[in-house]
Structure 1
Amino acid sequence: MHSGLHGRGALFDTDPPGLVARLVGLCPFQHGPTPLEYAKEPPFVVFTGGPGLGKSAVLGELRAAYEGHTPLALIDCEDELFARPPARRPGEAWSPVSQAVLTIAEQLAEPVAGAGRIAFPRLTAGLLAVAAGGWRDRDLPRIRQEAERILLLNDTGSRVAGFTGRWVGRVSTRLVDALSGTGLVVEPIIEATLEVFSEGVTPTHRRLRKAATWYRDCPRAGGNPKLGLILLSGHFRAGGDSRTHAERYLVRALLADLDDAYTGAVQRTHRPGRPVVLVDNVQDTAGVGLIGSVLRDRADGIADRVAFFAGLRGDGHPSLHNAARRALPEVARATGWEPGGTVSSHALLVPLPPPATTSPQAVEAGR
Structure 2
Amino acid sequence: MHRRLHGRGALFDVEPAGLVPRIVGSRPYQHRVLALEHPGELPFVVLTGPRGIGKSAVLGELRDAYQGHTPVALVDCAEAQFAGPPPERPAESWSPVAQALLVVAEQLAEPVTGAGRITFPRLMSGLVAAAAGGWGDADSERIRREVERILLLNESGSWVSGFAGRWAGKVAAKVVAAATGTGPLVSGAVEATLESIAEGFASRRHQKASVWYRTYPNAGGHAQRGLILLSGHFRAGGTSRAHAERYLVRALLADLTEAYAGVLPRMQRLGRPLVLADNVQDGPGPGLPAAVLRDRAEGVADQVAFVAGLRGDGRELLRGAVLGAPRLVFTPRSQSTVRIWCASVVLCPPPP
Letter in 2 for 1:350: V
Letter in 1 for 2:30: Q
Task: Determine whether 1:336 maps to 2:334.
Answer: no
Letter in 2 for 1:323: A
Change (3 A) 1:197 1:60: closer
Does the residue aligned with 2:179 lie in a helix, a strand or coil?
Answer: coil
Match for residue 195 of structure 2?
A: 195
Change (3 A) 1:340 1:166: closer
Q: Distance in 2 between matches of 1:55 and 1:95?
A: 25
Deviation at 1:210, TM superposition (A): 2.0
Q: Distance in 2 between matches of 1:93 and 1:79?
A: 19
Match for residue 277 of structure 1?
A: 275
Q: Distance in 1 between matches of 2:78 and 2:308?
A: 13
Is the Cα–Cα contact under 8 Å of residues 178 and 192 in structure 1 kept in the other structure?
Answer: yes
Is the Cα–Cα contact under 8 Å of residues 59 and 280 in structure 1 kept in the other structure?
Answer: yes
Moved more, 54-63 or 180-189: 180-189
Match for residue 154 of structure 2?
A: 154
Deviation at 1:8, TM superposition (A): 0.9
Deviation at 1:247, TM superposition (A): 0.3
Q: Distance in 2 between matches of 1:25 and 1:193?
A: 36
Is the Cα–Cα contact under 8 Å of residues 115 and 271 in structure 1 kept in the other structure?
Answer: yes
CA offsets 1:42-67 (integer angstroms, 9 cap, x no match): 33100000011111111111111111
Deviation at 1:16, TM superposition (A): 0.8
Equivalent residues in 2 for 1:220-235 (5 A)?
220-235=218-233
Q: Number of paired residues?
A: 346
Is the Cα–Cα contact under 8 Å of residues 126 and 230 in structure 2 kept in the other structure?
Answer: yes
Segments of structure 2 that go 5 or more residues without pairing to the other structure are none
Moved more, 173-182 or 215-224: 173-182
Letter in 1 for 2:156: T
Is the Cα–Cα contact under 8 Å of residues 105 and 254 in structure 1 kept in the other structure?
Answer: yes
Deviation at 1:26, TM superposition (A): 1.0
Deviation at 1:196, TM superposition (A): 2.5
Does the residue aligned with 1:285 lie in a helix, a strand or coil?
Answer: coil
Deviation at 1:197, TM superposition (A): 2.8
Match for residue 355 of structure 1?
A: 350
Equivalent residues in 2 for 1:300-339 (5 A)?
300-325=298-323, 336-337=326-327, 339=329
Deviation at 1:6, TM superposition (A): 2.2
Deviation at 1:165, TM superposition (A): 1.4
Change (3 A) 1:309 1:175: same
Match for residue 139 of structure 1?
A: 139
Match for residue 208 of structure 2?
A: 210
Match for residue 32 of structure 2?
A: 32
Equivalent residues in 2 for 1:1-367 (5 A)?
1-157=1-157, 165-180=165-180, 185-200=185-200, 202-203=202-203, 207-325=205-323, 336-337=326-327, 339=329, 341-342=331-332, 346-347=339-340, 348-356=343-351, 358=352
Is the Cα–Cα contact under 8 Å of residues 71 and 276 in structure 1 kept in the other structure?
Answer: yes
Q: Distance in 2 between matches of 1:324 and 1:61?
A: 29
Deviation at 1:156, TM superposition (A): 1.1
Q: Distance in 2 between matches of 1:136 and 1:146?
A: 14
Change (3 A) 1:13 1:246: same
Does the residue aligned with 2:344 lie in a helix, a strand or coil?
Answer: strand
Q: Distance in 2 between matches of 1:82 and 1:182?
A: 33
With normalisation by structure 1, the TM-score equals 0.88
With normalisation by structure 2, the TM-score equals 0.92
Change (3 A) 1:299 1:4: same
Moved more, 151-160 or 2-11: 151-160
Deviation at 1:318, TM superposition (A): 2.0
Letter in 2 for 1:216: R
Moved more, 2-11 or 70-79: 2-11
Change (3 A) 1:148 1:180: closer
Q: Distance in 1 between matches of 2:62 and 2:243?
A: 31
Q: CA RMSD in A?
A: 2.3
Letter in 2 for 1:133: G
Is the Cα–Cα contact under 8 Å of residues 322 and 344 in structure 1 kept in the other structure?
Answer: no
Moved more, 176-185 or 20-29: 176-185
Letter in 2 for 1:26: S
Does the residue aligned with 2:15 lie in a helix, a strand or coil?
Answer: coil
CA offsets 1:300-354 (integer angstroms, 9 cap, x no match): 111111110010000124231133447xxxxxxxx53153554686551111111
CA offsets 1:132-190 (integer angstroms, 9 cap, x no match): 0000013211100111111110011169999x711111111111111346796111211
Q: Percent identity?
A: 60
Is the Cα–Cα contact under 8 Å of residues 320 and 331 in structure 2 kept in the other structure?
Answer: no
